[in-house]
Amino acid sequence: MLPALATATLAFAGQTFAETAAEKAIAKALESSIRTDEDKARDAERKPVETLTFFGLEPDMEVIELFPGGGWYTKVLGNVLKEKGKLYVAISTGRVKDQLENWDLKDVEILAPESELTNTDIRGVFNVKNLDFAKTGVDMVLTFRNTHNFTPEARAELNKKVFDALKPGGVYGIIDHTRRHNQPYSRPVWRRVDPVLMIKEVQAAGFEFVDYSDLHYNATDDLQVDTTDKKFEGYSDRFTLKFKKPE
């Protein structure tokens, strides 16, 4: 019995160490000098350590970040993956492209540079052209508060391309602003997405739904007004969904 018990203990210890190593890598990235005071001021609400460990991020992964925006998560992911992994960014990368060298993240690679967002009748909601990551076998694809910027047709195209880019068992993590289930479109809620609809759309692309988290639940958000409303202080209610490509 003792050898078996020892083996079980070692296995458990190894698992604990791996989780701790990931958390430590994320925490270290949060202390990077490239992060501004404004970046750090969002840590308490965005909960990057808890969020990225929920998705299963490890320092040796290959990860694609979609819609990197101003680079809030790019700075974190880039430093976590800098030594053992690889970060790619794709779609609307213009704001981070010129900063990667300044951030000492010059190894971060831009994918689908020819992709183009095209306007629709709804301001802020786009279709997509020429979306081709030209990359396969990655471990994880993440997008933070961006799926609402796509039409359903464009999201279907995006989900298909993400599916093709991931390795079997690879993770697709999505965070976005919550819309009430079955709530019809109105301008105050255009930045919101029904999480039930999101699950259905991603599953339609072939993904398995793994889990959700209430990390970004906000009880003060009644889901009726724009997510930029001052009463949220920049932090609306958000859903956090984890999918995987079947193995």
153-163 per-position pLDDT tens digit: 999 999 999 99
- The angle subtended at Cα 97 by Cα 170 and Cα 244, nearest 5°, is 10
State in words which class domain 2-244 has. alpha beta
Mean pLDDT, to the nearest integer, of 205-230? 93
Q: How many CB atoms are located within 10 Å of the residue 135 CB? A: 18
What contacts 69, CB < 8 A, 6 or more positions away? 92, 95, 96, 146
Mean pLDDT, to the nearest integer, of 2-18? 43
Q: How many CB atoms are located within 10 Å of the residue 229 CB? A: 13
- Per-residue pLDDT tens over the stretch 110-153: 999 999 999 999 999 999 999 999 999 999 999 999 999 999 99
User: pTM for this one?
Assistant: 0.91
* Predicted pLDDT at 3: 44
* Predicted pLDDT at 230: 81
CB 223 within 8 A of CB 176: no
Q: What is the chain's mean pLDDT, rounded?
A: 91
Calpha distance 105→108 (Å, rounded): 6
